[in-house]
């Protein structure tokens, strides 16, 4: 079972951690669903940017806050980058076609997963990013674990 705890000191290191997960997903057959957890401004989109740099290197990754989902075409797979911050009900979730994305054969990266806890597939990768040092504003502790 995949499990890592990584300490990063910059946005670039957080992006690199995202890239490492994308490589591990390809090598180790990790589930194609990444549930991201963390407070506002903690680096979830930076993590996704790094992940996308491996799967869809030319994709201009930006936060899907207003669109709710951005799609990036990769070499072999599509990435579906969700922002569930404004999702407040299952009706909201399914109105964006969430279930269709789950079966589309791509990789789902979901920010604010805590808002859809009951709708996350049982087999997924959980990524929690927390600020861990008040004296170092870019310091993060990133916990990555495969869930089954």
Q: Are 128 and 145 in contact (CB under 8 A)?
A: no
Give the pLDDT band (50/70/90) at residue 29.
Answer: very high
CA separation, residue 24 to residues 4, 28, 144 (Å):
11, 6, 11
Q: Are 109 and 82 in contact (CB under 8 A)?
A: yes
Tokens of 5: 């705890």
Rg (CA), the chain: 14
Domain chopping of the chain, boundaries: 3-147
Q: What does pLDDT average to over the chain?
A: 95
Residues 31, 83: Cα–Cα separation, whole Å: 19
Q: Are 16 and 50 in contact (CB under 8 A)?
A: yes
- Tokens 């980058």, located at residue: 81
pLDDT at 65 over 80: no
pLDDT score, position 112: 96
Residues 65, 39: Cα–Cα separation, whole Å: 14
pLDDT at 12 over 80: yes
pLDDT score, position 18: 99
Tokens of 43: 């680096």
- The 10s digit of each residue's pLDDT in 97-148 is 999 999 999 999 999 999 999 999 999 999 999 999 889 999 999 999 999 9
Number of helices (H) and strands (E), helices first, in the chain? Answer: 4, 7
Instruction: Give 3-147's CATH code, choosing from 3.30.70.360, 3.40.50.1010, 1.20.120.1200, 3.40.50.300.
Output: 3.40.50.300
């Amino acid at each position: 079972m995949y499990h890592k705890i990584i300490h990063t000191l910059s946005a670039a290191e957080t992006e690199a951690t995202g890239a490492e997960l994308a490589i591990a997903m390809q090598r180790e057959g990790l589930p194609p669903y990444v549930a991201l957890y963390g407070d506002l401004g903690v680096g979830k989109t930076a993590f996704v940017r790094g992940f996308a740099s491996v799967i869809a290197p030319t994709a201009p990754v930006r936060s899907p806050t207003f669109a709710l989902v951005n799609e990036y075409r990769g070499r072999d797979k599509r990435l579906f980058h969700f922002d569930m911050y404004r999702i407040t009900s299952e009706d909201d979730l399914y109105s964006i076609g969430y279930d269709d994305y789950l079966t589309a054969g791509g990789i789902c990266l979901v920010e604010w997963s805590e808002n859809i806890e009951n709708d996350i597939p049982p087999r997924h990768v959980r990524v929690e990013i927390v600020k861990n040092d008040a004296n170092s504003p870019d310091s993060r502790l990133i916990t990555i674990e495969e869930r089954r």
